[in-house]
């Protein structure tokens, strides 16, 4: 496998994001695999930002460690990025703006490219300098420029021939500039892949599974889901920006009781505000999906950086006991699947499902060949559509599997109340005049057991509540969850190159957990815990549910995402 | 216009004998009966408090939600199914205290629902603490020396926030109240009805008699479309040092509801809209390559 990591770095407002997107599109259109990750800060103007685009000839699981080609748009780019440059790296810089004296010439080769001058010459527009740089990058990685011209035509066609010509010329000048030579040749397979981030994949999955209602209050890094729903109302979905996250989740519950598939999303701060209503969903047995895209905490933390430290919080948020599902998609592709699956599970078991994303997964861009649309089914669970005329409807009927029939407002003869107070089978209160009387003590016990029974039922009926094992038979296994799975897989590939045998045990569905099957999977394996938090939250969960204590850990809580190389290096230290 | 639908459940109310909540029960029941809306199309959403037990005395659909959260729950339900008649019922603590943030936005948003706030100027269910509308000097469990916070003016808040139907009723006059609720339900948009109500057990300042001596019906000829007049009226109670409390319709303005303006909801109730086909999903995915 070959891959090149290109990092475009400069100031906020330099057009870094659109340049990265352009490069990603160019590579994807050439049938290459791409993986993009943006480094940015929680400010709108100024600051140092970068976009790393990794391009490879086979599946990529992370943005890669270090930089092979740096496009330095300003002096800060040299200052902040020089330590991340790999051996044999290339630094493309504009001599009129950037001085490269600080570079370690034994590691990196500096290539002069007067981007600004060329941009002014061909178009009179300074921002086009980025396109000059991209032209050069395409040459370095051995890509054809012809395809790129087509991309420019479709992207800028609306702006007129002059803009298109300027861009095409800018790219060509960069491509052909002296000293710009192909350094490696990546060849694509000609396949057209979807290019998207985790938030968008999740949104598409939910849409495909009939999610009609999304409510949210803006919060990085979950806002991408909001943007998707807000800009796709023409597809028959509805988005409501709420006044706060308390409102967002309560609206979602209202919509769910009224009969639509409903989801809300936020990051940890907003999730904290949603906690009380999570229990309301549990008590009303109103199915909802709540996305928490984790960022570095506590409190406001690093709004634009990643972490996996809300796992235990998500599992235990809200008072009392009620069944819930907690799932952390392991990649962009799986975010689509889980976006769809979560809605089915929520409705089948009438529980809240919490999808734990994280900043890295939410915002990293991956190329995906195809989503498994045939696996997207819509199962709305036990719904009664008409009354059979036999008296009052038992919305909370005590059933063997714990799942009671639902009926939506508007259905004649099935009128009932969905109450947050403890109630009997009809939804009538047990909490006021009856509390403490024998009748209510008995009913409370039965009703609570009915709700909790749904955990056994889902464990019995579903196959998803066990981790996935990759490389069964390996000597060591990285135990991890969510987005860190990708980097762990990459680490196993790197370690294989060094003659070491590693596999991955990836937890997607973490609550509930099929304890017996999980124990069987883990027993006797040499395990190394890899997670992006300080307190080894996944390891704690594993210990609690299987008794297995994982001794070795590779942890990170500096806000940056794991890369495969880093995990591999640290694993070597642990296992030598 | 009475019809033969029975909107009541027959459940024994939980309220203390003499509680104003009975008056609101009567008023709402009468309004529903006068309108004759199909029972299964009515959804009553409440928060938490004595007053929030309201859905249980009705035989319509209901959600008894969280303290202060009935507005977003009701909003979500109405946005999901525009065919429903959604009625919110809660207390003054529920709506003007913990949930007041939602009130402002519901008023701006103009979702077509009717919100009845049973305003007894006390926290009933938690046994008698000061509420946001407790008067200055009111001695309650949480203000044993008398309240020192200026009471909220809910009618003023609703007007300022842009509510398109603002009224005040009195639990001691269920017939008058029924009229206000009925008009509120018929109004296309967010209708709020503040209902002065007595808590016989914990509020011995604002008693039934206290209200009776002070409330008066807004005079004939008052123009409820005039915002300046509405603001004047909203200030009257506190300006008169609570000697004259107007009840009736303060303000009403026709403007498009939220659902009428949203491109998805315009097409009809969300619950009835089809799920995407595989082909539609594939086409949607094409945006990505
Ligand atoms: C989050 C939360 N905080 C506090 C409570 C306790 N609580 C229940 S009802 C209530 C106030 C009741 O007063 P009001 O809303 O005016 O209704 P009333 O009982 O007077 O009808 C409070 C504080 C609660 N249920 N939830
Ligand atoms: S405590 Fe007050 S508000 Fe509650 S039921 Fe009794 S009288 Fe009514």
ipTM of the complex: 0.98
> Which ligand 2 atom sits closest to the C-alpha of B49?
4
Q: CB contact, 8 Å: A276 with chain B?
A: yes
Q: CB contact, 8 Å: A212 with chain B?
A: yes
Take residue A499 and report the two structure tokens written for it. 């003659």
Average pLDDT over every residue of A327-342: 98
Q: CB contact, 8 Å: B139 with chain A?
A: no
Average pLDDT over every residue of A419-424: 97
**A552 three-state secondary structure:** strand
Query: A532 vs chain B: nearest CA distance in angstroms?
Result: 30
- Continuous segment of H or E residues that includes residue B237: helix B227-239
Distance in angstroms (rounded) separating the CA atoms of residues B60 and B85: 10
Distance in angstroms (rounded) separating the CA atoms of residues A46 and B236: 53
Contact B66 A244 (CB under 8 A): no
Segment 55-94 of chain B within 8 Å of chain A by CB: 55-56, 59-66, 69, 71-81, 83-84
Query: What band does B20 get if pLDDT is binned at 50, 70 and 90?
Result: very high
- In the predicted structure, residue A1 carries a pLDDT above the cut 90: no
Q: Kindly identify the ligand whose nearest atom is closest to the C-alpha of B100.
A: 1
First-residue to last-residue Cα distance in chain B: 61
Q: CB contact, 8 Å: B13 with chain A?
A: no
Domain ranges of chain A: 3-175, 195-375, 382-461, 468-575
Task: Convert the pLDDT of each residue in A66-116 to its tens digit.
Answer: 999 999 999 999 999 999 999 999 999 999 999 999 999 999 999 999 999
Query: What band does A43 get if pLDDT is binned at 50, 70 and 90?
Result: low
Segment 25-64 of chain A within 8 Å of chain B by CB: 28
CATH superfamily of A195-375: Thiamin diphosphate (ThDP)-binding fold, Pyr/PP domains (3.40.50.970)
Q: What is the DSSP letter of B225?
A: T
Say how many Å lie between the CA of residue B90 and the centre of ligand 2.
13
Residues 6+ apart with CB under 8 A from A199: A221, A222, A223, A224, A225, A228, A293, A335, A357, A362, A363
SS3 content of chain A, % helix, strand, coil (to 5): 40, 20, 40
Take residue A29 and report the two structure tokens written for it. 């259109």
Task: Convert the pLDDT of each residue in B30-88 to its tens digit.
Answer: 999 999 999 999 999 999 999 999 999 999 999 999 999 999 999 999 999 999 999 99
Task: Convert the pLDDT of each residue in A368-421 to its tens digit.
Answer: 999 989 989 999 999 999 999 888 999 999 999 999 999 999 999 999 999 999
User: Residues B208, B212, B213, B217: is their CA dihedral positive or negative?
Assistant: positive
* Ligand 2 touching residue B16 (CB < 6 A): yes
- In the predicted structure, residue B1 carries a pLDDT above the cut 70: no
* Ligand 2 touching residue B200 (CB < 6 A): yes
User: Residues A436, A420, A396, A317: is their CA dihedral positive or negative?
Assistant: negative
Distance in angstroms (rounded) separating the CA atoms of residues A237 and A340: 14
> Which of B14, B39, B271 lies closest to A258 in CB terms?
B271
Query: What band does A42 get if pLDDT is binned at 50, 70 and 90?
Result: low
Would strands A509-511 and A325-327 be described as parallel, antiparallel, or unpaired?
A: antiparallel
CA distances from residue A407 to A178, A193, A380, A568 in whole angstroms, order as listed: 72, 42, 12, 53
Contact A251 B75 (CB under 8 A): yes
Task: Convert the pLDDT of each residue in A181-203 to its tens digit.
Answer: 999 989 889 898 999 999 999 99
B192, B167 contact by CB (below 8 A): yes
Q: Which residues line ligand 1 (CB under 6 A)?
A: B 48-51, 67, 91-94, 118, 120, 122-126, 131
Mean pLDDT for chain A overall: 95
Q: Assign a CATH topology to domain A3-175.
A: Pyruvate-ferredoxin Oxidoreductase; domain 3 (3.40.920)
- In the predicted structure, residue B12 carries a pLDDT above the cut 70: yes
Distance in angstroms (rounded) separating the CA atoms of residues A143 and A149: 12
Q: Assign a CATH topology to domain A468-575.
A: Rossmann fold (3.40.50)
Segment 506-525 of chain A within 8 Å of chain B by CB: none
Contact A252 B62 (CB under 8 A): no
Q: What is the DSSP letter of A429?
A: B
Q: What is the pTM of this model?
A: 0.97
- In the predicted structure, residue A439 carries a pLDDT above the cut 90: no
Domains (range + CATH), chain B: 21-262 (3.40.50.970)
Residues 6+ apart with CB under 8 A from B160: none
Angle of CA points A438, A443, A447, to nearest 5°: 155
Distance in angstroms (rounded) separating the CA atoms of residues A399 and A20: 55
Q: Name every chain B residue with its beta carbon within 8 A of the beta carbon of A224.
A: none
Query: Given this chain, do its domains A195-375 and A468-575 carry the same CATH topology?
Result: yes
Provide DSSP, A470-536: ESTT-SEEEEEETTHHHHHHHHHHHHHHTT--EEEEEESEEES--HHHHHHHHTT-EEEEEESSSS-
């Amino acid at each position: 496998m070959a891959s090149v990591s290109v990092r475009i770095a400069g100031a906020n407002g330099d057009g870094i994001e659109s340049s990265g997107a352009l490069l990603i599109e160019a590579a994807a259109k050439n049938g290459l695999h791409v993986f993009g990750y943006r480094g940015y800060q929680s400010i709108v103007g100024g600051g140092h930002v970068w976009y790393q685009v990794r391009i490879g000839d086979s599946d990529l699981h992370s943005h890669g460690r270090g930089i092979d080609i740096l496009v330095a748009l300003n002096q800060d780019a040299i200052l902040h990025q020089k330590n991340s440059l790999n051996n044999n790296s290339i630094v493309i810089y504009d001599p009129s703006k950037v001085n490269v004296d600080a570079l370690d010439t034994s590691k990196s080769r500096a290539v002069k490219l007067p981007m600004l001058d060329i941009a002014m010459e061909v178009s009179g527009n300074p921002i086009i300098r980025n396109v000059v740089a991209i032209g050069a990058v395409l040459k370095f990685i051995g890509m054809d420029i012809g395809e790129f011209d087509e991309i420019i035509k479709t992207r800028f066609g609306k702006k007129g021939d002059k803009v298109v010509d300027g861009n095409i010329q800018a790219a060509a000048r960069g491509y052909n500039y002296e000293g710009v030579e192909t350094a490696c040749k990546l060849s694509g397979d000609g396949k057209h892949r979807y290019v998207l981030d985790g938030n968008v994949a999740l949104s598409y999955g939910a849409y495909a599974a009939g999610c009609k209602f999304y409510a949210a209050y803006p919060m990085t890094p979950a806002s991408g889901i909001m943007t998707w729903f807000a800009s796709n109302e023409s597809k028959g979905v509805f988005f409501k920006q709420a006044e706060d996250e308390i409102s967002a989740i309560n609206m979602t519950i209202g919509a769910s009781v009224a009969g639509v598939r409903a989801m809300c999303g936020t990051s940890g701060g907003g999730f904290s505000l949603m906690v009380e209503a999570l229990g309301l969903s549990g008590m009303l047995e109103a199915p909802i999906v709540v996305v928490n895209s984790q960022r570095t905490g506590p409190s406001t933390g690093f709004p634009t950086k990643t972490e996996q430290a809300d796992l235990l919080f998500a599992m235990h948020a809200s008072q009392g006991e009620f069944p819930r599902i907690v799932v952390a998609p392991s990649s962009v592709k799986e975010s689509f699947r889980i976006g769809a699956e979560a809605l089915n599970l929520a409705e089948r078991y009438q529980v809240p499902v919490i999808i734990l994303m994280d900043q890295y997964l939410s915002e990293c861009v991956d190329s995906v060949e195809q989503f498994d649309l045939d696996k997207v089914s819509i199962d709305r669970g036990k719904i009664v559509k008409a009354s059979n005329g036999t008296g009052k409807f038992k919305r909370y009927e005590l059933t063997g599997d714990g799942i009671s029939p639902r009926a939506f407002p508007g259905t004649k003869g099935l009128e009932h109340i969905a109450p947050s107070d403890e109630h009997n089978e009809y939804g009538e209160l047990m909490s006021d005049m009856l509390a403490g009387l024998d009748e209510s003590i008995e009913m409370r016990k039965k009703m609570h057991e009915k709700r909790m029974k749904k955990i056994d039922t889902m464990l019995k009926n579903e196959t998803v509540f066990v981790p996935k094992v990759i490389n069964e038979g390996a000597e060591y296994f990285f135990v991890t969850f969510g987005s860190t799975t990708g980097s762990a897989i990459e680490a196993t590939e790197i370690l294989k190159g060094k003659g070491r045998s590693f596999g991955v045990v990836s937890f997607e569905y973490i609550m509930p957990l099929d304890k017996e099957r999980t124990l069987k999977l883990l027993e006797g394996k040499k395990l190394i815990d890899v997670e992006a938090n300080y307190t080894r939250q996944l390891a704690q969960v594993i210990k609690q549910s299987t008794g297995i204590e994982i001794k070795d850990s590779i942890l990170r809580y500096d806000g940056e995402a794991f890369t495969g190389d880093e995990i591999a290096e640290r694993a070597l230290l642990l296992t030598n | 216009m009475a019809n033969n639908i029975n909107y009541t459940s027959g459940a024994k109310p939980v309220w203390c004998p003499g509680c104003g909540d009975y008056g609101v029960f009567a008023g709402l029941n009468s309004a529903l009966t006068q309108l004759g809306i199909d029972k299964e199309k009515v959804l009553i959403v409440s928060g938490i408090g004595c007053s929030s037990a309201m859905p249980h005395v009705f035989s319509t659909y209901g959600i008894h939600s969280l303290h202060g959260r009935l507005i977003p729950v009701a909003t979500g339900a109405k946005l999901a199914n525009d065919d429903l008649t959604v009625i919110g019922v809660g207390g003054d603590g529920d709506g003007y205290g913990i949930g007041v943030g939602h009130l402002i936005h519901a008023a701006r948003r103009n979702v077509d629902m009717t919100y009845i706030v049973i305003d007894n100027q006390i926290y009933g269910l938690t046994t008698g603490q000061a509420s946001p509308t407790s008067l200055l000097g009111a001695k309650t469990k949480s203000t044993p020396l008398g309240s020192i916070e200026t009471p909220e003016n809910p009618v003023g808040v609703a007007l300022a926030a842009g509510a398109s139907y603002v009224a005040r009723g009195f639990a001691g006059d269920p017939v008058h109240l029924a009229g206000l609720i009925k008009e509120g339900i018929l109004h296309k948009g967010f209708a709020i009805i503040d209902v002065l109500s007595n808590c016989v057990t914990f509020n011995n300042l604002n008693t039934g008699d206290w209200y009776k001596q002070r409330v008066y019906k807004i005079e004939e000829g008052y123009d409820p479309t005039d915002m300046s007049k509405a603001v004047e009226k909203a200030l009257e109670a506190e300006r008169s040092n609570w000697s004259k409390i107007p009840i009736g319709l303060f303000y009403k303005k026709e403007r498009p509801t939220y659902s009428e303006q949203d491109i998805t909801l315009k097409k009809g109730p969300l619950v009835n809209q089809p799920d995407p086909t595989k082909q539609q999903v594939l086409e949607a995915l094409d945006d990505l390559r």
